[in-house]
Amino acid sequence: MRHLFSTYHYKHCCSRVKVVKPVFLLCSSSRIIYPQCRNFKTSYGRAGPVLQFKLSDIGEGIMEVTVKEWYVKEGDKVSQFDSICEVQSDKASVTITSRYDGVIRKLYYDVDSIALVGTPLVDIETDAAHAPEKDVVETPAMSHEEHTHQEIKGHKTQATPAVRRLAMENNIKLSEVVGTGKDGRILKEDILNYLSKQTGAILPPSPYHEIQPPPPAAAVPSAVGPKDKVPQPSPAQPVIQRPVFTGKDRTEPLKGFHKAMVKTMTAALKIPHFGYCDEVDMTKLVRLRLELKELAESRGVKLSYMPFFIKSNKFPLLNNLRWMKTSWCGVFQAAHNIGLAMDTTQGLLVPNVKNVQVLSVFDIAVELNRLQALGTSGQLGTADLTGGTFTLSNIGSIGGTYAKPVILPPEVAIGALGKIQVLPRFNSRDEVVKAHVMNVSWSADHRLIDGATMCRFSNLWKSYLENPATMVLDLK
């Protein structure tokens, strides 16, 4: 009689039970023959580590973003480069993509919440077999190797923020670069190779891989009939070489005259400036200087227009008045110390000619030659740089016509002189003549100087320059 025996063996594998039903054979000698069996090894599936996926630096100095939309929820399974959420900065919308394969375990922000750079966005439980050894997430202070993948809306590109920053610094559109990473991801080496092709620079070999240019397409012979037109080759597109800029910013502390200038100009911001502009016909003065120039040079002195400008500055209210904030009054100084703004290697310096009221035009020229020599060699002393009562800036020696000069406290006025131009003008007989014209711009402290006073001063100064012979009668 035949008997059938059944026995059940269980195999545990990842919480699934598999039922194995072996078959026993019965021989004629009533002896049971057992089939060859082997034991099964029991193993249990284990979960991988839970990693924090942090919001990394997305460039352009952005430190916080607004979470606009989540594309995943807790319990969803994601793969690398899957979209996780969309964030909005003050410059662009950015889609954040995953860098891990795993399961979403926690969302740290609600929609419309503010997320800070460097803080966790989600927790991802990764597969134990493929879990990274270390969770590296870069912050703005460590932006050399960024592992968060991001995709700007409207561009089908995948690149890390560090790669995007490198492309932005070299004015490269990511859409023009062929990515060689996973799923077409653009790597740093792709950007460098793109730059080398544009500039012809030789880059060192990459430690990761070498990008080989595609082989040229083989020409396929074809029979061209007598009536077929041979297509003309298209003209070669010009290659724009993009220079690779490797310069770095540097910070230098302000020292010496530059630091003093910052303090002086900061104090000048408290002065209510009143501006007044005019033009001066310099034709007669140009002829007079031309006559006296050789005579002055024979005495070893270079004669410019500046001694005439300084000597014509005869108006006590503007020359001598100084504002004293502590006593809330104006102080009239006896001396006319006219300063000259001078461009030197040390910066902007304003030495002054002392006691102009008792000097001749030639004496002023001698003193100006001395100050200019000291300024060029950087040897101007404190006595030369202090005590000024009025300042003139000859900006026209460099270029320009009008300016807006800034008063040098505690003085109450300053003038900027433009370049001398040859322009057509009408003379007293209504004839068009060639005239040498200079523009002048005045600034006055409106707390002490009103518009009428500045206008009278400018008219008197202008009259001496347009009719230099009157200096012989009036000026000492």
Does the pLDDT value for residue 243 go beyond 60?
Answer: yes
**What mean pLDDT is reported for the chain?**
77
Q: Model confidence over 295-353: pLDDT tens digits?
A: 999 999 999 999 999 998 877 677 667 666 655 566 777 888 999 999 887 788 899 99
- pLDDT for 320 equals 64
Task: Tell me which residue has tokens 């001698």.
Answer: 366
Q: What is the DSSP string of 314-352?
A: --HHHHHEEEETTTTEEEE-SS--EEE-EEETTEEE--E
Longest dimension (CA), the chain: 156
Instruction: Tell me the C-alpha distance between 328 and 145, whole Å.
Output: 62
List 12, 127, 130, 450, catalytic entry: 450
Concerning whether 450 is annotated as a catalytic residue, the answer is yes
Concerning whether 144 is annotated as a catalytic residue, the answer is no
- pLDDT for 130 equals 55
- pLDDT for 87 equals 85
Reference 454, options 444, 466, 464; nearest CA is: 444
Reference 57, options 189, 174, 163, 184; nearest CA is: 163
Per the CB < 8 A criterion, the answer to whether 323 and 352 are in contact is: no
Q: Model confidence over 42-94: pLDDT tens digits?
A: 444 456 788 888 887 766 667 888 888 999 999 999 888 888 898 877 656 77
Task: Tell me which residue has tokens 């430190």.
Answer: 63
Instruction: Tell me the C-alpha distance between 9 and 22, whole Å.
Output: 9
Mean predicted confidence (pLDDT) in 275-301: 95
Has this prediction a pTM greater than 0.95? no
Most trustworthy range by pLDDT among 106-120, 214-228, 275-289, 370-384: 275-289
Instruction: Tell me the C-alpha distance between 442 and 313, whole Å.
Output: 12
Instruction: Tell me the C-alpha distance between 174 and 155, whole Å.
Output: 8
The residue ranking higher by pLDDT, 465 or 201, is 465
Task: Tell me which residue has tokens 């969803």.
Answer: 76
- pLDDT for 156 equals 52
Reference 317, options 476, 448, 451; nearest CA is: 448
Q: What is the DSSP string of 225-240?
A: -TTSPPPPPPPPPPPP
